[in-house]
Structure 1
Amino acid sequence: MRVHAVDPETSSYAVDWSIRLTNVREDGEALYFGSPTTAGREMAGYTGLQWRGPRDFTGGRVFGPEAEGELMGTQGPWPAFTGEHDDVDGHSTLMFAHAPRNADAIHASHWFVRAEPIPTVAFSWAFFEEFALEAGESFEYRYRVVVADGAWGREQVATRLKGPAW
């Protein structure tokens, strides 16, 4: 994990999270990755890194580059989530983004996003399909979460996510 790109002008900062997983099984068997959806529970495809928001984000605004509202099971460069805080008269916006190199990952990710009953966003590795990691092989993913003060709009989110470089 790395915290960086603190921007006092926009009251925002970035947190990058990376994972590299290698199958080191001594029996030579593959590791299989799935989700509750791949096991038969419809639209419960959470796997990978997941943010579970506080209660005051329940019912918050969820949007992506071209969509508003329900992004469950979709693919795209980013979703954002804005919530209103209970104890103060204010909002926060969280932006979730894939590193460009994730496009070459072992398996394409989908977004697991919901505002109710529990606000959550996951970079889901195996939303709709299982995948195997063969013995001796590895996979890597890198993600960015930008935390910002205020209720940001689509254009402001897109601009902030253009930098800094990965």
Structure 2
Amino acid sequence: MTLALTRTDAALSVTDGETELMRYVFVPDTPQLEAPKPYIDPIRTRAGRVVSLFRPWDHVWHKGIAWSLPVVGDENFWGGPTYLRDQGYVQQPNDGTQRHVGVVVAVVEHDVATFSHDLEWISERGQRMFTERRSLTARLLDDTAWALTFETSMTNATDGTIAIGSPTTRGRENAGYGGLFWRGPRSFTDGLLVTAQGTGTGSALRGQRHEWMGYEGRHDEVDAASLVVMVDAASNPHHPPQWFARSEEFAALNPAPFFSEEVRVPAGEAVSFRYAVGVADAGAADAARIADGLRPLL
């Protein structure tokens, strides 16, 4: 089967025959409160089963898979309220926008669908914080799995150093979310988190450092499980990352490079991150095999 890529002025889809594997919305119509940003949703397995959730009522700024940063200096590119030390979460006029500037590449070659575009990060007050070049690819791994890669290079467009952090770097214990964030379907709640060292549930693995982590969840209506695996590139800052991962209340995976330590980007300099994500009609026992197939892509 050969992948196909179709694109409009606001979104693109990658399909495998009649199955839409992913839809990347790069010009969202998101309210400012939710920090408008490109997102990938829906995400499907090769069998057509959805493994993402868009704008859940409990956290409306969660959108499938998105590159979301809650602490960018004093700005919030995550959405909603900002965590303030000794105050908790406070809604502020600081929900910024990741604005699409232009498409660089949109092509399928050698059975790999590639999309690259340029963005700029604009604070709610109108200040340009970063310029960004972002690239995504999709390719088939085998009859049961496909792979998404996500790569970003962000250049500080201000005249000062920008510190990228998390609620934990601002004082909230074990809440170091930020980065490439996946939100799973409601039916995936209470699923199984998987690492090379073992498995866990709830928040048991949160804050641990791993090269990769997976999530096995089950679908309503059909007697089937699916697996999502995320792999962190060895070149990423603070590799292997601490993970913001959970199965209680909702399903989430997030290799969080800013979990407990800021990444500081001087004026005019760039910081880069690369990730591979596997989506499979499989279970926890296949996670290591999927991770092995993703690692060479980085």
Same fold (TM over 0.5): yes
- One-letter amino acid of the structure 2 residue matched with residue 48 of structure 1: G
> 1:24 maps to which residue?
157
> 2:14 maps to which residue?
none
Paired residues of 1:60 and 1:81 also in contact (CA < 8 A): yes
- Residue deviations 1:44-94 (CA, integer Å, cap 9, x gap): 100111001110110001110003212211111111100011121100011
- Could you say what secondary structure the match of 1:71 adopts? coil
- Report which of the two structures shows the higher radius of gyration computed on alpha carbons: 2
- Pick from 142, 151, 161: which aligns with 2:291? 161
Give the alignment's Cα RMSD to 1 decimal: 1.4
Percent identity of paired positions between Structure 1 and Structure 2: 36
> 2:260 maps to which residue?
128
Structure 1 residue ranges without an equivalent (≥5): none
Structure 2 residue ranges without an equivalent (≥5): 1-135
Give the total of aligned pairs. Answer: 157
C-alpha distance in 2 between matches for 1:150 and 1:161: 13
- Residue deviations 1:16-66 (CA, integer Å, cap 9, x gap): 0111111111xx211111111111111110011100111011000111000
TM-score, normalization by structure 1: 0.88
C-alpha distance in 2 between matches for 1:119 and 1:13: 20
Paired residues of 2:141 and 2:293 also in contact (CA < 8 A): no
- Could you say what secondary structure the match of 1:150 adopts? coil
C-alpha distance in 1 between matches for 2:139 and 2:187: 26
Q: Whose relative contact order is higher, 1 or 2, with alpha carbons under 8 Å and at least 6 apart?
A: 1
TM-score, normalization by structure 2: 0.50
- Could you say what secondary structure the match of 1:161 adopts? helix
Paired residues of 2:178 and 2:256 also in contact (CA < 8 A): yes
> 2:197 maps to which residue?
66
Map residues 30-49 of structure 1 onto 2, 5 A cutoff. 30-49=161-180
Paired residues of 1:63 and 1:71 also in contact (CA < 8 A): no
C-alpha distance in 2 between matches for 1:131 and 1:6: 33
- Could you say what secondary structure the match of 1:68 adopts? strand
- One-letter amino acid of the structure 2 residue matched with residue 92 of structure 1: S
User: How far is 1:139 from its partner?
Assistant: 0.9
C-alpha distance in 2 between matches for 1:116 and 1:73: 15
User: How far is 1:161 from its partner?
Assistant: 2.1
Paired residues of 2:169 and 2:260 also in contact (CA < 8 A): yes
Moved over 6 A (4+): none
- One-letter amino acid of the structure 2 residue matched with residue 5 of structure 1: L
C-alpha distance in 2 between matches for 1:97 and 1:120: 14
- Could you say what secondary structure the match of 1:7 adopts? coil
More strand by share: 2
